Structure 1
Amino acid sequence: MTAYVEYTDSVNYPSLEKGQLPFYCLSNLLKDDIPLHHHDFLELSFVMNGSGTETLNGITHQLKPGSISFLLPHHIHEIHTNLQDPLHLFCCMFDISLIFESTTDAGLGRILLQAGNQLPSFNDLNENETREMNLICNAIANEYHSSKIGKYSVIRSKVIEALVLYARSHSTTILTHFNNQNANMKKSDWDIIQFVHTNYLNELTQDGLCKKFDASPAYISRLFQKVLNTHFLDYIHILRVRRASSLLLTTEMSILDISVDSGFESFRTFSRVFKEHTGMSPRTFRKLSGESSS
């Protein structure tokens, strides 16, 4: 039976009132597996109790108390719970704009944009970090289900706190590298990068980006080189190849369908770009990956 990736759109958010934070959270004891899926918002999940596995962008890792995962828009994942020790999972889903609302969060935002690339998408927190994250999750849940004045301001501050904890749990070498670069970026620059991250599966050109943000091609080129150390088109290809790789690893979709689903305008372009980035054809990548996991 062919496995296809489910798409969970942001319309699944509860109806938002004017001025309400685009945010949703839940705390569930999983009695069933969560099938392969992706969505157009960010997701931060934390294992409070239980055990299982998560496959995130084609990489499978064990889940246990203290495991934390962070997904960017259109990252692909599935979760398998242990029926003898079901997962108690706390999960926050929110719009990418939440981490770009304040210019003071620019450094953190740049780090988070590397999740699944230079920054691992998951980690196991130590004892102190786990205790701290439990407190944060409980605080978020309490505010989310309350009707207190300023609840969304508190929620945002707690989510940022959780994201900082997730980022800090990784190598200090990685974080120092990020913090030393581009600490004073403008809000408009983050708007451009945010737009790319939420629209890379659609037709996206540098000329179109220039028109939308009233910027010159030279400005866009310098921005991507400065912030992400690559060219605009190369970065689009990185995002699309990363998605295609996940689909090749985790589904039985045809390679042609995967090329379309990953945003490539033609199968020829997909094959060429995929080989440039991975050193092998999509077919060989799938075959070798299947052999290594068997």
Structure 2
Amino acid sequence: MEIVYENKTEALTMQFGSGLSGMIHLHKELELIYVESGKAVAYADKNSYILNKGDVFITFPNQIHYYETIEYGSFAVIIFSSKIVYGFSDIISKSVPDRNYIPCGEVEGFDYIFNRVTALSGDYTELALNGYINVLMSRILPILQLKTVNAENNTALYNVIDYCTNNFKEDITLDSIAEKLHLSKYYISHMINRKLNQNFNEYINNLRIAEACNLLRETNIKIADISEDVGFGTIRSFNRAFKQMTGISPVVYREKNAVLKKLI
């Protein structure tokens, strides 16, 4: 399981797609999904929800989330800073909701608001979108129970994930991260186990294997060189970790993807 910390620079982004991203990630912003058509499974922390037409999915800052598209359709994705939500920024930034899923019809007027949002265009789109987001959040917040989270723990989590994401190719250890981030290695180990449901070595290996898969698909670099490039000490340990994560060897993975490319 590859988990990436995304460092967003824009306070507000809106995009539309036929499917949703399978990349496991977290960021400091809220993420709001509206299903115009299609079907997907949305995951937030350790919970999962099936999304159908008209459903809404929301994640709060620093919640680990990702998606699995079941039926392609039309999905609206709005990512925005908590500072946009007038008067509630501090509460939102320090909280997580009791659920991340709002089924179609639970809040009257959602479909109308989202239809207006998806039709926005022109010079004042961002201004209008800011207004609609506040309207949406004024309907969403009253039906959710918010639980306060330790902001220090959140900061530590995304610092660790950010560091791992940018340094997994190196000889990275709990000791080296602890020294770099001035945290206890036991605290880091416990946090990864509790938040990511895996131990530190599994997390680093998953980052490395995810990068190896990308190189196997997109380049002709020799497998032995890929193994070294992504941070494995030996080709044997690379092959073992790769098969454990994907169920097949790097050679077979490359061959299968080469066949798929020819069919596309």
Structure with greater strand share of residues: 2
Cα deviation per residue 1:95-137 (whole Å; 9 max; x = unaligned)?
Answer: 33212xxxxx32x445534553xx22512235262x6222222
Moved beyond 6 Å, runs of 4+:
241-244
Q: Does 1:135 align with 2:135?
A: no
Q: Does 1:43 align with 2:31?
A: yes
**Given the alignment, which residue of 266, 270, 275 partners 2:188?**
270
TM-score under structure 1 length normalisation: 0.50
For the residue of structure 1 that corresponds to 2:122, the secondary structure is coil
1:183-202 correspondence runs (5 A): none
Sequence identity (%):
12
| Amino acid of the structure 2 residue aligned with 1:5 | I
1:205-224 correspondence runs (5 A): none
TM-score under structure 2 length normalisation: 0.55
Q: Which residue of 2 aligns with 1:98?
A: 84
Q: Structure 2: how far apart are the matches of 1:137 and 1:33?
A: 20
**Given the alignment, which residue of 101, 121, 133 partners 1:123?**
101
Q: Does 1:69 align with 2:57?
A: yes
**Given the alignment, which residue of 31, 43, 46 partners 1:55?**
43
For the residue of structure 2 that corresponds to 1:265, the secondary structure is coil
CA distance change for structure 1 residues 271 and 6 in 2, over 3 Å: closer, same or farther?
closer
| Amino acid of the structure 1 residue aligned with 2:42 | E
Task: Give how far 1:255 is off.
Answer: 9.2
CA distance change for structure 1 residues 89 and 255 in 2, over 3 Å: closer, same or farther?
farther
For the residue of structure 1 that corresponds to 2:53, the secondary structure is coil
Task: Give how far 1:81 is off.
Answer: 0.8
What RMSD over aligned residues (CA atoms) do the two structures have, in Å?
4.1
CA distance change for structure 1 residues 271 and 8 in 2, over 3 Å: closer, same or farther?
closer
For the residue of structure 2 that corresponds to 1:26, the secondary structure is strand
Q: Does 1:24 align with 2:10?
A: no
Q: Which runs of 5+ in 2 are unaligned?
A: 161-171, 200-264
Task: Give how far 1:10 is off.
Answer: 2.1
Cα deviation per residue 1:236-293 (whole Å; 9 max; x = unaligned)?
Answer: 136646998xxxxxxxxx9949x76xx6712133357x59xxxxx759x649xxxxxx
Q: Note if contact 2:25-2:64 (Cα within 8 Å) is conserved in structure 1.
A: yes
For the residue of structure 2 that corresponds to 1:34, the secondary structure is coil
Q: Structure 1: how far apart are the matches of 2:182 and 2:35?
A: 35
Q: Structure 1: how far apart are the matches of 2:159 and 2:102?
A: 24
Q: Which runs of 5+ in 1 are unaligned?
A: 14-21, 100-104, 179-227, 245-253, 276-280, 288-294
Q: Which residue of 2 aligns with 1:112?
A: 92
